[in-house]
Amino acid sequence: MKSYKIVKSNIDKKGLIASKNIKFGTKIIEYKGRIVSNKKVENDPKFDNSKDIYLFDLNKRFSLDGDFSWNTARLINHSCNPNCEVEKIGNKLWIMAIRDIKKDEELTYDYGFSFDSDYKQFPCKCRAKNCCGYIVREESRWRINKKFKKNIRINR
Ligand SMILES: [Zn+2]
Interval 8-35 mean pLDDT: 95
CB 129 within 8 A of CB 81: yes
* CB under 5 Å of ion ligand 1: residues: 80, 124, 126, 131
Dist. CA 45 → ligand 1 center (Å) = 27
Tens-digit pLDDT profile for residues 89-105: 887 999 999 999 999 99
Q: Is residue 141 part of a domain?
A: no
Cα of 75 from ligand 1 centre, angstroms: 16
Give the range of the structural domain holding residue 22, as residue numbers without chain letter. 4-121
The CA 15 to ligand 1 mean position distance, Å, reads 15
Burial of 106 (0-12, 13-18, 19+ CB in 10 A): buried
State the distance from the centre of ligand 1 to the C-alpha of 51, rounded, in angstroms: 19
Residue 12 falls inside a structural domain = yes
Find all residues with CB under 8 Å of 69, minimum gap 6, and list them. Answer: none
Cα(102)–Cα(116) distance, rounded to whole angstroms? 34
* Residue 117 falls inside a structural domain: yes
What pLDDT is recorded for position 143? 36
Per-residue pLDDT band at 141 (split at 50, 70, 90): very low
DSSP letter for 122, please: S
Residue 40 falls inside a structural domain: yes
Residue 78 sits in a domain whose CATH number is: 2.170.270.10
CA of 37 to the centre of ligand 1 (A): 30
- Rounded to whole angstroms, what are the CA distances from 33 to 58, 72, 101? 12, 10, 25
Percentages helix, strand, coil for the chain (3-state, rounded to 5) are 10, 30, 60
Distance 126 CA to ligand 1 centre (A): 4
- Dihedral of CA 38/41/43/48: which sign? negative
pLDDT value of position 115 = 63
Q: How many domains does the chain fold into?
A: 1
User: What is the distance in A from the centroid of ligand 1 to the CA of 125?
Assistant: 6
The better pLDDT of the pair 12, 28 is held by: 28
Distance from the alpha carbon of residue 82 to the mean position of ligand 1, in angstroms: 9
Q: Is 134 part of a structural domain of the chain?
A: no
Residue 99 and residue 22: Cα distance in Å, rounded? 8
Residue range 133-139: mean pLDDT, rounded:
76
Whole-number Å distance, alpha carbon 110 to ligand 1 midpoint, is: 9
- Other beta carbons within 10 Å of 18: 22
pLDDT tier at 35 (50, 70, 90 boundaries)?
very high
Query: What confidence score (pLDDT) does residue 142 get?
Result: 37
* pLDDT surpassing 60 at residue 112: yes
In this prediction, residue 120 carries a pLDDT of 75
Q: Is 111 exposed, middle or buried (0-12, 13-18, 19+ CB in 10 A)?
A: buried
